[in-house]
Amino acid sequence: MTSLLINGQATEHISALDRGFQYGDGLFETLRVRGGQILHWPLHMARLAEGCERLRIPMPDKMVLLAEAQQLCAGRDGVLKITVSRGVTQRGYGFDDGLVPTRVLALAPLPGFPASHASEGVRVRLCQTRLGHNPVLAGIKHLNRLEQVLARAEWDNEQDEIAEGLMLDNQNHVIEGTMSNLFCVQGETLQTPKLDRCGVRGITRGRIMAAARAAGIPVAETRLTVDDLHAARELFLCNTLMGIWPVRQLEDHAFTVGPVTRQLSEALHD
């Protein structure tokens, strides 16, 4: 069951004229909650603030957001989703700078990922749906997710035993998974796709890069192709809820759960 606060009120109702509903005009953050503790709150607030600045949406008061989040999450485990839209307006793409943003906080149960995904690895496929380039939106977690919706509809994970799909851009560079960021080990270097043209700059992605550098592992953000992934020694996925999932198979290419993946999984453990 999902618990909701909309603009601080316990309700499930929102205006049909809200621009988040009308145009996907807003942002969201997904946070892990354990025993009422909201993990990595400052990192998520920093990304939300960056997104608000780019979209010219006034950033909600962080202390108000924190108070509402603590009210919703007290003593509980789950997934906290914070959505901020530009607010309610009449039809048309134009907007006034004086609009009051809508904030929605939703606490839902944790997804039931199999433990074997983290310990033994997952099967992954390539998606046909491509990510378009838009540097203004690259990196932030905006509400427009139709590319991911269409990509995720390409397979049935129960039938195909596929845990995730990798998405490429329109120049055939690998960018990310439908719900995750991607890393590979080439030689002694940990590589991850550059996200300057599209993709989401994940919080866990940033934590992994910091942990790798602290451990003396070289890190590079670069353009990666499918051939680069096939040639990699190790491959893994990450996000806030899954942590790290090693990739054991990409299409017909097999991988082992390697030492770098294991080391970073241990370093990332909350």
- Active-site positions? 30, 141, 176
The whole-angstrom separation of Cα 31 and Cα 240 is: 7
Residue 117 in tokens: 């995904």
Report which of 230, 236, 226, 224 is spatially closest to residue 268, judged by C-alpha positions.
Answer: 236
Give start and end residues of each alpha helix (H) in the chain: 19-23, 41-55, 62-73, 115-119, 146-152, 157-160, 203-214, 226-230, 259-268
Distances in whole angstroms, Cα of residue 65 to Cα of each of 59, 126, 245: 10, 37, 31
Q: What's the gap between Cα 179 and its chain centre?
A: 6
